[in-house]
Amino acid sequence: MSQIIIFGLHGLTYAGLLFLIASGLTIVFGMMRILNFAHASFYMLGAYLSYTLFLMTGQFWACLIISPAILFFIGVLVERVLIRKVHSLGLVYDLLLTFGLGYVLGEIVKWIWGTMPLSVKVQGFLAGSLTVLGITYPVYRLFILLVALAIGIGLALILFRTTLGIVIRATVDDSEMCNALGINIPMIFGCSTSTTFVQ
């Protein structure tokens, strides 16, 4: 019975990781209509950047904050410089561009960090294990699961309980009507459709 529970927790933790990747991909496609095949490559790049920052600073928690911030600026740069140029041409061009970008990022990672697995020693309370009802489970895996749940709940609250969420859902459903009502859609989405809508 204990093994079934452990395997169940493993499955939930892995599902949490998949949710973190899939939720970003879904939101980008749902809001901006960008089919980003390089999404997982950005996720991978964030992991390697965190690894490098951890080696440089030794601060595990700081890396969890700094690395996503760096990836945010890289993502904005890619959208402004590359995706914005082809987005108005259709999904096929988005797909081809981001598919190629994914390959480029993969090769950059191999070039800088190599192909061997890299590991980080988790610090603090995350390095320990938790024993409940005779079952011992790593705290770090439970932390991943809790973060995925927190992000899921946070996204749901933002999309369904805030004015911003109402605006986002409305513009996804009918962007032309929202634009006619005076909503600055390019500012909300940061998308390349800024030439399509009246400012």
- How far apart CA 83 and CA 98 sit, in angstroms, is 8
Q: pTM for this structure?
A: 0.76
Is 99:38 a contact under the CB 8 Å cutoff?
yes
Going by C-beta distance under 8 Å and a sequence separation of 6 or more, which residues neighbour residue 89?
none
| Residue span of the structural domain in which 108 resides | 33-120
In a domain, 141, yes or no: no
Residue 112: inside a domain: yes
pLDDT in tens, the chain (199 residues): 677 888 888 888 899 888 988 887 877 777 677 778 888 899 899 999 999 998 888 888 888 889 999 998 998 898 888 888 887 788 888 888 999 999 999 999 999 998 888 887 777 788 888 887 677 888 888 888 999 999 999 988 988 888 888 888 887 777 778 778 888 776 766 543 433 333 3
Q: Is residue 71 part of a domain?
A: yes
Q: Outline where the chain has alpha helix (H).
A: 2-32, 39-57, 60-78, 84-86, 91-113, 139-161, 163-173, 175-180, 185-189
In angstroms, the CA 166 to CA 161 distance is: 8
Within-domain flag for 90: yes
Tell whether 52 is covered by a domain.
yes
Quote the number of domains for the chain. Answer: 1
- Does residue 19 fall inside a structural domain? no
Q: What residues contact residue 83 under an 8 Å CB cut-off, 6+ apart?
A: 34, 36, 94, 97, 98, 192
Q: Identify whether 24 is part of a domain.
A: no
Residue 175 in domain: no
> If you ran DSSP here, which 8-state letter would residue 82 be given?
I
The owner of tokens 């740069």 is 77
